[in-house]
Structure 1
Amino acid sequence: MPLLILPATALVIMLLVLPMAGLLRISLNQYSPTELMVEAVTGENYLNAITDPFYQKILLVTVAVAVSCTVLSLLLSIAPAYWLARMQSRWKSALIILTLFPLLVGNVVRAAGWMAILSTDGALNAFLGLFGFGPYKLLYQPAAVVFGTAAVVMPYMILTLSAVIEAIPRQTEEAATNLGAPPLTVLRRILLPQAAPGVVAGCVLVFIMSMNAYATPVLLGGPNFTMLAPAVYDQFVRVGNWPFGAALAFLLLLSTLVLTVLVNFALVRALKRKSL
């Protein structure tokens, strides 16, 4: 049995552990405008990233966007996930493929589509103009980033919830309905507690992807809206400060891990409380 996991373990070590170890070593070096990087062992880059108000604000914005995307995608995914899970039709497989179809398109292409919809002369403002409203500045706003990122991650949430709901016996819902429970009570007291593993898994997955989003915030947020992933890119590519960029990357990784554990814990507690 140990021999069977050796190839996968070697692959993880070569493609994940070793590059991260190298990045960690870079983050401990010092930046020099002339030499770019000076060999050293210092925590100065981490201290600057944590204490600088500019990057503190970027971290808060990143967390706020990730939480907003998680909540929005969960609320928008419950209905289609339930409908897909309970569907008894030969078209079910086609609808699952249709749900997966957006994942075949790159994030840049999808963000460009949202730019065409949300721009001042875009489709949404043109539609509102038919009723005498607008035009409104919808692009390069935090809301545009939240909706655009939520649209990117929603297929993962829908498929995760659908798989869990499909495993829940329909008879439990029918029994509650026959006893007089309204639909919202059935959802809150019967369906959600049993679907808790899927809700937690979907929220954690969406939260991680939203925390590390790059293309959507850059294209929909504009130059004045920055999250941690674009900030890491700027330090590596535009500024050339590799040590500080590596420190920001590990700060993003650490904050994502810590917040993922907290989100997981909070969701489990909330779902248990609702089931009581």
Structure 2
Amino acid sequence: MPVPSLLLVIFGLCLPLLLMARYSFAEFDPRDMAIQGLTLENYAKFFTDPFYRDVLLRTVGVAALTTLLCLILGVPAAHLISRTKSARLRTILILASIIPLLMGNAVRVAGWMVLLSDRGLVNESLLFLGLIDEPIRIMYTLSAVLLSLVAVLLPFMIITLQSVFDRVSADYEDAAATMGAKPATAFFRIFVPLAMPGIYSGGLLVFILGMNAYASPVLLGGPTFHMMAPAVYEQAIEAFNWPFAASLAFVLMVATLILTVASSLFLQKRYGRM
């Protein structure tokens, strides 16, 4: 690695992580933000408080569900793009996939707030059609958070998958069809195993982004829907408890790494290569 790149990694990544690690073991003094003392109290508080354990479990669950939904929607979409022969149509489909990324995350989530509120477009349309008698509660629910996260993260899934699917020759599926295999059989028995490295990469990217989601749980989940990233913000900015915020951030990072490595080992054992 060239020296400038190495220095960038050291000063841009390693030193901040080391500083955060040191903060996570510091004693909290609301009158002094300086790093002082050395204690395990911050981690003990996290692992002994059921509230924060539930926050971590909810974060993992939401990230996993988001990843699953993005895979269900993203794999067929990316496969369609990669097998589209018309260059113009292919370009249109790719642009349609990445256009949402041109807007900020908070802006997109705010748009979902307009759609899903009690007097939003969804409820007003259902009321107009006579399908409901009164607005249904969509905001501040798990469904609203998942819907927003899938909409936000699906482009990342499609882009990652499509670039890998392009390298899987369509000849394999054509050969399977020639041998009498149905399209669904050829897709799941031939194409999916060949494309598994890309599927894993896309799933991993979406899972990591889901674990660190902030705008969707805050704006669409409401004050009672707690996830790890908003919890870190609350402790650091609102409570000014930087040591505990650092410990929450470190727990989130370590949990993400453990789940990532575990899934990689499982898939490597299952498919023999990743």
For normalisation by structure 2, the TM-score amounts to 0.93
Distance 1:214 1:165, change over 3 A: same
- Once the 2 structures are TM-superposed, how far is the Cα of residue 222 of structure 1 from its aligned partner? 0.5
Task: State the partner residue of 2:234.
Answer: 234
State the one-letter code of the partner of 1:8. Answer: S
- Once the 2 structures are TM-superposed, how far is the Cα of residue 97 of structure 1 from its aligned partner? 2.6
State the one-letter code of the partner of 2:248. Answer: L
Q: How does 1:119-198 map to 2 (within 5 A)?
A: 119-129=117-127, 130-133=129-132, 135-198=135-198
Counterpart CA distance in 1 for 2:168 and 2:146 is: 31
State the one-letter code of the partner of 2:104. Answer: G
User: 1:84-107: CA deviations, max 9, x gaps?
Assistant: 101112322233233112112111
Match of 1:104 among 80, 99, 102: 102
Q: Which runs of 5+ in 2 are unaligned?
A: none
Match of 1:10 among 7, 14, 26: 7
Task: State the partner residue of 1:113.
Answer: 111
Number of aligned residue pairs: give it: 269
State the one-letter code of the partner of 2:124. Answer: A
- Indicate the RMSD between aligned Cα atoms, in angstroms: 1.6
Distance 1:270 1:146, change over 3 A: farther
User: Are 1:58 and 2:34 an aligned pair?
Assistant: no
Question: SS where residue 251 of structure 1 aligns?
Answer: helix
State the one-letter code of the partner of 1:216. Answer: S
State the one-letter code of the partner of 2:96. Answer: L
- Once the 2 structures are TM-superposed, how far is the Cα of residue 193 of structure 1 from its aligned partner? 0.2
Counterpart CA distance in 2 for 1:216 and 1:14 is: 31
Counterpart CA distance in 1 for 2:263 and 2:124 is: 39
- Once the 2 structures are TM-superposed, how far is the Cα of residue 216 of structure 1 from its aligned partner? 1.2
User: Are 1:35 and 2:32 an aligned pair?
Assistant: yes
Counterpart CA distance in 2 for 1:70 and 1:267 is: 16
Counterpart CA distance in 2 for 1:107 and 1:270 is: 35
State the one-letter code of the partner of 1:132. Answer: L
Distance 1:230 1:192, change over 3 A: same
For normalisation by structure 1, the TM-score amounts to 0.92
Counterpart CA distance in 2 for 1:38 and 1:257 is: 26
C-alpha contact 1:28 1:243 (8 A) present in aligned 2 = yes
Task: State the partner residue of 1:218.
Answer: 218
- Once the 2 structures are TM-superposed, how far is the Cα of residue 269 of structure 1 from its aligned partner? 4.7
Task: State the partner residue of 2:74.
Answer: 77
Q: Relative to structure 2, which stretch is displaced further, 185-194 or 131-140?
A: 131-140
Counterpart CA distance in 2 for 1:83 and 1:168 is: 13
Distance 1:7 1:37, change over 3 A: closer
Q: Relative to structure 2, which stretch is displaced further, 82-91 or 196-205?
A: 82-91
Question: SS where residue 195 of structure 1 aligns?
Answer: helix
User: 1:18-38: CA deviations, max 9, x gaps?
Assistant: 111111111111112333556
Counterpart CA distance in 1 for 2:202 and 2:59 is: 19
Question: SS where residue 135 of structure 2 aligns?
Answer: coil
Task: State the partner residue of 2:23.
Answer: 26
Q: Relative to structure 2, which stretch is displaced further, 39-48 or 198-207?
A: 39-48
Task: State the partner residue of 2:91.
Answer: 93
- Once the 2 structures are TM-superposed, how far is the Cα of residue 214 of structure 1 from its aligned partner? 0.6
Counterpart CA distance in 1 for 2:64 and 2:263 is: 9
- Once the 2 structures are TM-superposed, how far is the Cα of residue 263 of structure 1 from its aligned partner? 2.5
User: 1:205-224: CA deviations, max 9, x gaps?
Assistant: 11000000111110110111
User: 1:114-162: CA deviations, max 9, x gaps?
Assistant: 1111111111122222142252111110111112111111111111111
Question: SS where residue 164 of structure 2 aligns?
Answer: helix
C-alpha contact 2:23 2:35 (8 A) present in aligned 1 = no
Question: SS where residue 85 of structure 2 aligns?
Answer: coil
User: 1:52-78: CA deviations, max 9, x gaps?
Assistant: 101000000000000000000000111
Q: Which runs of 5+ in 1 are unaligned?
A: none
